[in-house]
A and B are shown apart, each in its own frame.
Chain A
Amino acid sequence: MSFLETKHLLGLRGVSKNDLRTILDTARQFREILDRPVKKVPSLRGVTVVNLFFENSTRTRISFELAEKRLSADSVNFSSSASSLTKGESLLDTLKNIEAMKIDLVVVRHKGTGVPAFLAAHSDAIIINAGDGANEHPTQGLLDIFTMEKRLGSMEGKIVTIVGDVRHSRVARSNIWGLTTLGAKVRLCGPATLIPRNLSFFQEVGVEVIADVAKAVEGADAVIALRLQKERQEDSLLPTLREYRNFFGITAEVLDRAKSEVLIMHPGPINRGVEIDSIVADGPNSVILDQVTNGVAVRMAAMYLLSGGRADE
């Protein structure tokens, strides 16, 4: 039984402020555990988790696996090319097979928007979305917020600028929903071809678009540079990586326009010299590696709470 209002973690859109707070506060306790010599707790002993990755992943999959091991869960991995499972029937068949194996919790990544929701609707297992299309990547959003809160305190009234390919980014969307629920202001910046055109739902939560990257980072408390997929150039959405870097890259010159204590973040993996220069990614404002460490704690918290446990039990 979930200790959250939500049974699954399908996205951060619609997740209550209470649930967000509970996950983030619990993650803080797990984060402390990760600094201990013995990093393992028995919280999910007897719980079986399957990591169902229909899309390539390295760091997210490893992060989940590590979180499961730290919680003493039994975990199995399943990976498959999405091509053999594009039809709803196949997906349902996969799910039924998993259910037959008495799985408690499913971590799923798929290229299609809504696949985690589809699984949740047809299964008794707890579903955690590890990325569905360009829709959401809730644990990444949570770990980003966790990292920000650790440095900045409450996100209420804080300004977070997300720069890059927002149109195709599930990371951006999860951050938008999570941050705005916690009272932060979100700015988006990027080439017009990489910013969604229809923004009314984002504008309802106060999101604004600023075309000029220097203006977009002015006064921001945190800047998230999104990874630029090189395929965007082949898709005619961008002329060259050079022009992208010159007009939208987080460079030392851009950083000069921001607050001196601004946090620099990136979901990884980084294209150095494209969306962010090395001098910035490796500089004193960067919390990029903290994000990676915090990701394990946040995923531990999410799985733990959804499985009905409490960190202090």
Chain B
Amino acid sequence: MNKNYWFQNVRVFADNKLGAPQDFFVQDGVWVASVPNDAEKIDVHGSWLLPGLFALGVDFQEPIRDDIYRLKDGFEAMRRGGFCTALCESEANPLDDLHKLKASLDAYGASGLDFHFLGAISVGHEGKSLAEMLELASHGVVGFGDGNHLPSGLRFLRFALEYAGMTGLRCYFQPMERSLAGKGHVHEGHYADTLGMKGIPAQAETIAVHQILELSGWLQVPVHLKQITCAESLNLIRNARSRGVDVTCDVSIYHLMLDESCLFALDTHTHLRPPLRTAEDKEALWKGLEDGTVQAISCAHVPVLPQDKEVNFDDAVPGAVSLEIAFVALLAASQLRFADGLERLLGWLTDGPAKICNRPMATLRMGASSPFFLFDPSVKRVLRVSDFAGQVHNSPLLDTVQTGMVTGTFFAGQWRWNR
């Protein structure tokens, strides 16, 4: 049963700007103009009330060790970070048939959060046999992808796009030419060569981007390129879009925050796939966001067991969690770069992902029901293991100082405080 709330001294983000402190009333999940009966009064002392965020690139790695990280830990991570909507795909459990899709819809639906799913392009993400994409589309997937696997054969990729094209849905690819990436772990650049580490050249990405865009343009199938990491990829995307190719793309939080220079620390939490690129590439990604080449920031939330990170760098399982701290960390970076850093960031974490997935965007409007979260900008803290849900904490930002904190989230008619 929905409860009614009266938030006092809250700065509401509506009409794309943050307002002055005001009262904010919620009745049966809807923003209303006057105090509802039996409203619970909450003074938030100038906190910001922001629209619920949309997480791209979420993989809870189900079935991960269920004694260490469970699905409900993933839901908790979203709540702690202000995320109310997510686009999910699973490496461990590819949604390549209807039974798996229905099981996921049931399991995730119980959270009350809003989850969307990518159906698999190929059975088992193996790039050999097409998945039943028409069937999956008719049961609600919002697009198709093979996780981090890009089909190695262009002929297969062509038929996969052609087949998926019948659904009108977007195909999501992680552009990485595996035959060129080889056994590399990090960006092939000065840092990797200095350390004698096996590298993945930027060309492993740009070659794949070029191939995908050529096929997308020819077959007229919309595509999304996940976690673009380098400047040249963005140039290819700009050029393709100018030719009419329907392509969207995202960049991940950590590729905006970090670059290859952190390799010298040999922190396995910075072992990511795709790898962190050069400082110039990082700047180009911000530029891409600024000029609209990039539509969204993805979370690329990949929980990795502690024991899989407590090894030497090369042997560490790549990936990082981010849902809990993405907004906080990115806000500081965005506000450093842009006078309207909050507005831009919310766009990249709400409208952008929603448009890519062709879903309605979360906006706060009087008379409407929409998820939101509270953000206290005055909190300064060091990120600790306890800030992460479950027993995984594989974030490169662990032990760093962060300003601001998501203090509570409202979704499915319920208000939840963090901690």
Contacts and interface: CB of A to CB of B under 8 A. Distances in A.
Interface of A: 191-193, 197, 211, 233, 235-240, 242-243, 246-247
A300 to B, nearest CB: 41
Interface in B127-162: 128-135, 155-156, 159-160, 162
B61 to A, nearest CB: 26
A199 to B, nearest CB: 13
Contacts of A235: 159
A165 to B, nearest CB: 13
A239 B130 contact: yes
Interface in B83-138: 123, 128-135
Contacts of B160: 236
B332 interface: no
Given A236-B155, A236-B156, A193 B132 contact: no
A192 B134 contact: no
B134 A247 contact: yes
A236 B132 contact: no
B156 A192 contact: no
Given A243-B132, A247-B134, 17 more contacts: A191-B163, A192-B165, A192-B166, A197-B219, A233-B129, A235-B159, A236-B129, A236-B155, A237-B130, A237-B163, A238-B130, A239-B129, A239-B131, A239-B163, A240-B132, A242-B132, A243-B134
Nearest to B96: A239
B135 A193 contact: no
Interface in B50-99: none
B166 A236 contact: no
Contacts of A246: 134-135
B159 A193 contact: yes
A197 to B, nearest CB: 8
Contacts of A247: 134-135
Please tell me the size bucket of the interface on B.
10 to 19
Contacts of B128: 236
9 contacts: A191-B166, A192-B163, A193-B159, A236-B128, A236-B129, A237-B159, A239-B134, A246-B134, A247-B135
A192 B162 contact: yes
A191 B165 CA distance: 10
B162 A236 contact: no
Nearest to B123: A239
A238 B134 CA distance: 10
Contacts, number: 43
A193 B159 CA distance: 6
Interface string B207-224: 000000000000100000
A243 B139 CA distance: 13
A94 to B, nearest CB: 33
Contacts of A237: 130, 159, 163
Nearest to B157: A236
A242 B123 CA distance: 15
Given A236-B155, A243-B135, A193 B129 contact: no
Contacts of A193: 159, 162-163
A130 B107 CA distance: 57
Contacts of A233: 129
- What are the 4 A-B residue pairs with the smallest beta carbon separation, nearest first? A239-B130, A243-B132, A239-B132, A192-B162
B165 A236 contact: no
Q: Which of A239, A240, A243, A247 has the most CB of B within 10 A?
A: A239
Nearest to A212: B166
A211 B133 CA distance: 15
Contact of B133 (A197, A239, A242): A239
Contacts of B135: 243, 246-247
B130 to A, nearest CB: 4
Given A191-B166, A211-B166, A236 B159 contact: yes
Contacts of B123: 239
B134 A236 contact: no
Contacts of B166: 191-192, 211
A198 to B, nearest CB: 11
Q: Which of B128, B155, B159 has the most CB of A within 10 A?
A: B159
Interface in B296-315: none
Interface string B155-182: 1100110110110000000000000000
Contacts of A191: 163, 166
A192 B158 CA distance: 11
Contacts of B165: 192
A161 B123 CA distance: 32
